[in-house]
Structure 1
Amino acid sequence: MLRPTGWTRFREWVLVWVCGSMLGALAADAVIGSYDTGLQPIKPSLFTVVAVFTCIMVSLVNKPRLCLATLVIALLPAVRLFDAAVLRRFDSSFQDQITMDLARTMLVLLAIIAVLSTEKWEKTALWAAICAMLLTTGSEIYEMLGFAKFSSIPGRYAGFNSHPNFPPVLLCEMLGIVFALSKNFRFNCLMIAVAVPGVALTYGRSGMIVLALLCGSYILLNARRNFGFLMIVTAIALPLLGIGAAVLESGTQHGVMKDKNTADRLEAIYDLDFEKLKSPERLKDLSDAWEAVQQKPLFGHGTGISGTIYAPHNEYVSLWLELGIPGLVLFAGTWLWLIARSVLTGGRAGYLVFALLAYTPFGQGRIEVPHFSFAMVAAACVLWPKRYQLTLRSLKQAPQTSAAFTPPHPQTLSRQG
């Protein structure tokens, strides 16, 4: 077996640590969040262009082999971009900005597909997920300590993501990638410890429930083989959880005043009161969006109306509202496709698929953010490991005789497993 050359080691190092860090920063919205609060001067648009260009160029020198399933993941974002930029069935004063955001999402998605098409994609994706988790939870703790103000909602911390509803989604998705790519149970428990405060500080009801289901099922299914380690972790974690609960409780107090929003959220989670866990405002938003769906159920109102005029907080209704039944079928079909593949492969990437699917009934706008694209492409790459590479081959021509003639060999598409 040939030892890797210095050039090979260098390009692989750049791929894993430089491109992985860039994807992690994009997933965590670290550059946008830090720029908006004045922590650093790099413009997010400039960073996105540099990151996309760097990732694609570095991927090309690392001999990429395409996972065809990732093209299916890119289909819905491409349809939405075409609808917004060319068809423009929904028009508003924000449409140009919406189109630019969708174009940015598509560029980042292409960069993710390029990076995850390389030989070292697993190591790169794992580091990118870890990086995104550290940046997200770290920025929330930084905000909690009073060094910066990121959150758009008083009393709830959001970190770089600016809205407290996004960090739990990101952390659960990245944790799903860690579970899919890392077989080290102890390391994965460490990453759970990173995710827990990041979700808790947002006071997100759905986020805490999904994280509890995700981590609880992972720990239970691996408890028998790691019983001794879990006993030690439990002895350490219980006091820390008590301290964390006290910190969250104190966060609902502002002097002699109590923040009713965060206090009610915390009480509902502690008591597992499903009536209190419901949000009357979201139910009203969902009802309004559903009425709009019924007005144009076949082809929808056009990309951009969800989030601009309506906020259904439900991804199925959101896609139906914009793209009609074809968009809904494409979106739901993608989930069925991923679930079926995971089941047929013995539960491969099951935690990741669950983390992605769990937020669809009460999520909105995920399809436009980098961490969702990253998690979806990672799931496709784990579930479909076969890769394909476009190559040009020229076979040596046999000596020509009067009886036979061998034409040049055409371009071939060679499959590599």
Structure 2
Amino acid sequence: MLRPTGWTRLREWVLVWVCGGMLGALAADAAIGSYEAGISPIKPILFTLAAVFVCICVSLVNKPRLCLAVLGVALLPAVRLFDAAVLRRFDSSYQDQIAMDLMRMLLVFIAIVAVLSTEKWQKTALWAAVSAMLLTTGSEICEMLGMVKFTSIPGRFAGFNSHPNFPPVLLCEMLGIIFALSKNFRFNCLMIAVAVPGVALTYGRSGMVILALLCGAYVLLNARRNFGFLLLVTIIAVPLLGIGVAVLQSGTQQGVMKDKNTADRLEAIYNLDFDKLKSPERVKDLNDAWEMAAKKPLLGHGTGISGTIFAPHNEYVSLWLELGIPGLVLFAGTWLWLITRSVLTGGQAGYLIFALIAYTPFGQGRIEVPHFSLAMITAACVLWPKRYQFTLRSLQAVDRSHVHQNVVGQA
């Protein structure tokens, strides 16, 4: 067996640690969050372009081989970009910005595909997921300690993501990637410990429920083989959870006043009060978007209307509102495609697919953020491991090869 050369080790090291770290920073919105908070002078678009350039260049020298399934994942983002930039069916003063944001996201998508087409894609994707989780939870803890302010909603911490609804989605998706790529149960439990405070500090109701279901299923299905370790973890975790609950409860206090929003959220989660888990504002937003989608059910109103005028907080209604029935069918068909493949492969990437689908009734705008693309592309690469390499050969070289084979055959 040939030992890897110094150049091979270098390019693989850069791929895993540098490109993986850049993808993790993009997924965590670290560049945007740190720039808006005044921590970093680097403009987010410059970091994004630099990361895309580095990832693509490094991937090219690591002999990429394409997983064709990622083309299916890319179909919906491409359709939305074409609708927003070329058809421009939704007319608003923000349309140029919407098209630019979708173009930027497509570049990030291409960079992720390039990196995950290499031989070391699993290590790179794993490090990207871990770094995204560390950056997200770490920035929330810094915000909780009063070191910096990111959140757009007082009383709820958001970290680099700026809106507290996004960190739980990101953390669950990244956990899904880790569960799909890492077989080390103890390491995966450590990452669960990183995710828990990151979700809890947002006071996100759906986030806490989905995290509990995701981690609960993972731990229970692996409990028999790791009983001793889980017993030790339980002994350590119970008092830490008590301290965490006390911290969350203290966070609902603002001097002698009580933050009703966060207090009600905690009460609803602790008591599993499903009526309080519902948000009356979100129900109204969903109804408004549904009524507007019903006015143009076939082709929708155009990409951009969801998020600028309407906020349904439901990805199915959001895409129906924008792209009509074809967009809704494409979106739902993607999930059916992934689920079917996971079942046929014995549950491969099952946790990851659950983390992605679980937020569809509550999410909005995930298609436009890097962590969703990273999770979707990773799921496709896990479920369809077969790769294809494209090479360019001149016609003259092919003819010579054919002549050589004929000469050898005649001899």
**TM-score, structure 2 length as denominator?**
0.97
Counterpart position of 1:377: 377
Report how far residue 305 of structure 1 moved.
0.1
CA distance in 2, matches of 1:126, 1:400: 45
Higher helix share: 2
Structure 1 position 309 matched with structure 2 position 314:
no
Counterpart position of 1:411: none
CA distance in 2, matches of 1:137, 1:346: 32
Report how far residue 2 of structure 1 moved.
1.0
Aligned-residue RMSD, C-alpha: 1.4
CA distance in 1, matches of 2:17, 2:238: 35
Letter in 1 for 2:241: L
Counterpart position of 1:63: 63
Counterpart position of 2:179: 179
Counterpart position of 2:401: 396
**Structural mapping, 1:188-267, within 5 Å:** 188-267=188-267
Counterpart position of 1:15: 15
1:228 and 1:99, CA in 2 relative to 1: closer, same or farther beyond 3 A? Answer: same
Could you list the per-position Cα deviations for residues 178-231 of structure 1 after superposition, in whole angstroms to 9, with x for gaps in the alignment? 000000000000000000000000000000000000000000000000000000
CA distance in 2, matches of 1:398, 1:112: 41
Report how far residue 396 of structure 1 moved.
2.0
Structure 1 position 285 matched with structure 2 position 290:
no
CA distance in 2, matches of 1:91, 1:47: 30
Could you list the per-position Cα deviations for residues 82-110 of structure 1 after superposition, in whole angstroms to 9, with x for gaps in the alignment? 00000000010111111111011100000
Counterpart position of 1:44: 44
**Structural mapping, 1:283-362, within 5 Å:** 283-362=283-362
Letter in 2 for 1:250: S
CA distance in 2, matches of 1:115, 1:133: 19
Counterpart position of 1:74: 74
Counterpart position of 1:127: 127
Counterpart position of 1:413: none
Structure 1 stretches lacking a partner, 5+ long = 406-417
Letter in 2 for 1:31: A
CA distance in 1, matches of 2:346, 2:23: 29
Could you list the per-position Cα deviations for residues 345-382 of structure 1 after superposition, in whole angstroms to 9, with x for gaps in the alignment? 00000000000000000100000000000000000000
Letter in 1 for 2:135: L
Secondary structure of the residue aligned to 2:249 is: helix
Counterpart position of 1:31: 31
CA distance in 1, matches of 2:80, 2:392: 34
Report how far residue 397 of structure 1 moved.
3.4
Point out the more displaced range, 226-235 or 94-103: 94-103
Letter in 2 for 1:247: V
CA distance in 1, matches of 2:81, 2:42: 26
Counterpart position of 1:4: 4
**TM-score, structure 1 length as denominator?**
0.95
Letter in 1 for 2:71: L
Letter in 1 for 2:242: G
Letter in 1 for 2:401: K
Counterpart position of 1:88: 88
Secondary structure of the residue aligned to 1:62 is: coil
CA distance in 1, matches of 2:353, 2:137: 22
1:219 and 1:398, CA in 2 relative to 1: closer, same or farther beyond 3 A? Answer: same
Which structure 1 residue ranges, 4+ long, deviate > 4 Å from structure 2?
Answer: none
Counterpart position of 1:367: 367
CA distance in 1, matches of 2:81, 2:326: 15
Secondary structure of the residue aligned to 2:187 is: helix
CA distance in 2, matches of 1:72, 1:43: 32
Secondary structure of the residue aligned to 2:3 is: coil
Percent identity, aligned pairs only?
Answer: 83
Counterpart position of 1:111: 111
CA distance in 1, matches of 2:229, 2:6: 40
CA distance in 1, matches of 2:404, 2:167: 66
Secondary structure of the residue aligned to 2:301 is: coil
Letter in 1 for 2:181: L
1:381 and 1:400, CA in 2 relative to 1: closer, same or farther beyond 3 A? Answer: closer
Equivalences, count: 404
Structure 2 stretches lacking a partner, 5+ long = none
Could you list the per-position Cα deviations for residues 297-343 of structure 1 after superposition, in whole angstroms to 9, with x for gaps in the alignment? 00000000000110000000000000000000000000000000001
1:231 and 1:400, CA in 2 relative to 1: closer, same or farther beyond 3 A? Answer: closer
Report how far residue 399 of structure 1 moved.
6.4
Report how far residue 400 of structure 1 moved.
11
Counterpart position of 2:273: 273
